Chains A and B, each alone.
Chain A
């Protein structure tokens, strides 16, 4: 039954999985799974698999399940059943086709959002189990192509987007020049040892969203902050290796990031509006290196903006006048409890905030997180159709008047953008920084 083609989804071709699988044999699969079960699987994996009583209570936590007509194969426990539970039960004796599907399930049908851990009475961490499956797939070389390419970029450049060392510095200097047109004394201080904080961003910012660096620079300069950005690799806080199961590479790129901050002798790292990077820095990457907590305290943009606004370091000239709704990014809400600070900031900068429900820790993921959007175009429609519940939420918010959706996370932006576009919802997407930049009081405004 497990090896039947899935009739709810068309077969999707991904060369990373397909060509990788051509090199597999059942013997190799068995050997790798057995090695993983004997060598890496610990008490959590065993206990989770053994403790699950098949009650199905996790199902309605999952947006993939809810959005695919409650097809039980998309429920969290259903995904476990089709992947790791079966590998454990069969002691690794599974077919190549089974592993191809396991890779697809773990990488494209689970955002690792951990919502189901809040719906399972036992607190079984299905995200943890899906990551274990991804790690097996990594060891077998059947990770989806696009995210594997991103993992390669991390390994070759220490950033997500193949940004070369010179392009990074050049982009910052370009943004500094641009911003000086508006604020003549503005600086993006590079390599300033002993600054109060290092501002870190993700690969796409210098590549596609350079205006975010511009806006951050204007905000920090207006607030008169003592900050810096590194001019070396280690600037990028993003981490797709965390999501491909390449734990050693996750460790390497986090080491580069933290050691960059330590070299600059900053008291903390302030990071841009990104969710998965926060998870990597605050939860998974630091642990992979043996740091119980981040060696340099890490502050997400939501918390930092909260500090700036609540202490009056930046003031709002005129609030954003279009009604907004808030999308809670899993990795900083369920991952760090920043939901009330997010609301404080949203209310401080916007005239009207219309809530989506469920929200806060119970939010629905954008369906882009957990590396799913990074699996690229082949999986786009499956991802968007796998989150009709979010489309529904957005429609409801719109019907109550919301014109703009605030999503303080890069992947959420990407995911919601596709959902809004495909479902023709007609809503603006903004980062907090976009709005703060727009509404804040700037010195000597020209």
Chain B
């Protein structure tokens, strides 16, 4: 058990973070080079002001027309993304691990808040799952891969919650938590989760075209 733990938190963690950061860097750089070659428009018409303007309108809930048309989804999506990023980044246990390994630490949140955020992520995953099932326009688009990604996003949160609250089998849950977290890191650059780092570019480009060339809003 301990050997597995050491492997998961040692070499595999290095590999996972390596692939995560390396993968993102590779994807962004290779995509930028491809854009240089084939999509000169992206560089030619890019406008930082209009890109940022568009990104902000799409990050803030209710700042776009479509967001206002779907208040529940807007709130769920916003909370989901905030919780998804904040919970692991500011979790006491994670920061302790990093502090032990590298001697760096930062602000952490009370565990109670982390619990709330975790439940929010899991709740949102259920919401997205149901939405994929019941809304015809979403069901039509949904593939098995979409469900798999949803499950992979939920897994570290569910297992983390399980382990923290010492529920039966929590030792295995701890290992599963670490492993699923590492799997998530590894797949982010290469699946639809890449929207995490492509978002500023797709939205920013559209914002630039609309704002700087078309003199129109895109939200």
- Answer whether A and B are interacting partners: yes
Q: How far is the CB of A1 from chain B (nearest CB, A)?
A: 10
Tell yes or no: B66 within 8 A of A by CB. Answer: yes
- CB-contacts of A261-305 with B (<8 A): 283, 287, 292
Number of A-B contacts (CB under 8 A): 134
Tell yes or no: A422 within 8 A of B by CB. Answer: no
* Contacting pair A72 B136 (CB below 8 A): yes
Q: Write out, one digit per residue, whether chain A residues 9-46 have a CB within 8 A of any chain B CB (1) or not (0).
A: 00000000000000000000000000000001111101
User: Within 8 Å CB of A51, what residues of B?
Assistant: 192, 194-195, 198-199, 202
* Contacting pair B213 A283 (CB below 8 A): yes
- CB-contacts of B133-165 with A (<8 A): 135-143, 146
Q: Write out, one digit per residue, whether chain B residues 35-74 have a CB within 8 A of any chain A CB (1) or not (0).
A: 1011101101000000000100010000011100110010
Closest A residue to B40 by beta carbon equals A287
Query: What separation, in Å, do the CA atoms of A56 and B141 have in the docked complex?
Result: 7
> Which listed residue, A78, A283, A335, touches B137 by the CB 8 Å rule?
A78
* Contacting pair B69 A43 (CB below 8 A): no
User: Within 8 Å CB of B136, what residues of A?
Assistant: 70, 72
Closest B residue to A362 by beta carbon equals B65
User: Within 8 Å CB of A55, what residues of B?
Assistant: 138, 141
Q: Write out, one digit per residue, whether chain A residues 40-67 have a CB within 8 A of any chain B CB (1) or not (0).
A: 1111101110111111110111000100
Tell yes or no: B216 within 8 A of A by CB. Answer: yes
Closest A residue to B197 by beta carbon equals A51
* Contacting pair B34 A43 (CB below 8 A): yes
Query: What separation, in Å, do the CA atoms of A253 and B201 have in the docked complex?
Result: 32
Tell yes or no: A337 within 8 A of B by CB. Answer: yes
User: Within 8 Å CB of B215, what residues of A?
Assistant: 336-337
Closest B residue to A125 by beta carbon equals B206
Q: How far is the CB of A106 from chain B (nearest CB, A)?
A: 18
> Which listed residue, B39, B65, B137, B216, touches A43 by the CB 8 Å rule?
B39
Assuming the A-B contacts A43-B38, A335-B216, A337-B216, are A50 and B137 also in contact, with contact meaning beta carbons closer than 8 angstroms in the complex? no
Q: Write out, one digit per residue, whether chain B residues 202-219 have a CB within 8 A of any chain A CB (1) or not (0).
A: 111111001001111111
* Contacting pair B39 A336 (CB below 8 A): no
Query: What separation, in Å, do the CA atoms of A335 and B213 have in the docked complex?
Result: 8
* Contacting pair A47 B140 (CB below 8 A): no
Tell yes or no: B130 within 8 A of A by CB. Answer: no
Tell yes or no: B31 within 8 A of A by CB. Answer: yes
Could you say which of A113-121, A167-175, A379-387 contacts chain B? A113-121
Tell yes or no: B32 within 8 A of A by CB. Answer: yes
Closest B residue to A340 by beta carbon equals B215
Please name 5 pairs of A and B residues whose Cβ atoms are closer than 8 Å in the assembled complex, sorted by A. Answer: A41-B38, A43-B31, A57-B73, A72-B141, A337-B216
Interface residues of A (CB under 8 A from B): 40-44, 46-48, 50-57, 59-61, 65, 70, 72-73, 75, 77-78, 81, 117-119, 121-125, 283, 287, 292, 333-337, 339, 358, 361-362
Cβ-closest 4 pairs across A and B: A42-B38, A123-B206, A337-B215, A72-B140
Beyond A73-B140, A122-B199, 16 additional pairs, beta carbon < 8 A: A43-B35, A44-B41, A44-B42, A50-B194, A53-B192, A54-B192, A56-B137, A56-B141, A57-B66, A72-B141, A75-B137, A78-B140, A118-B217, A122-B195, A124-B206, A358-B65
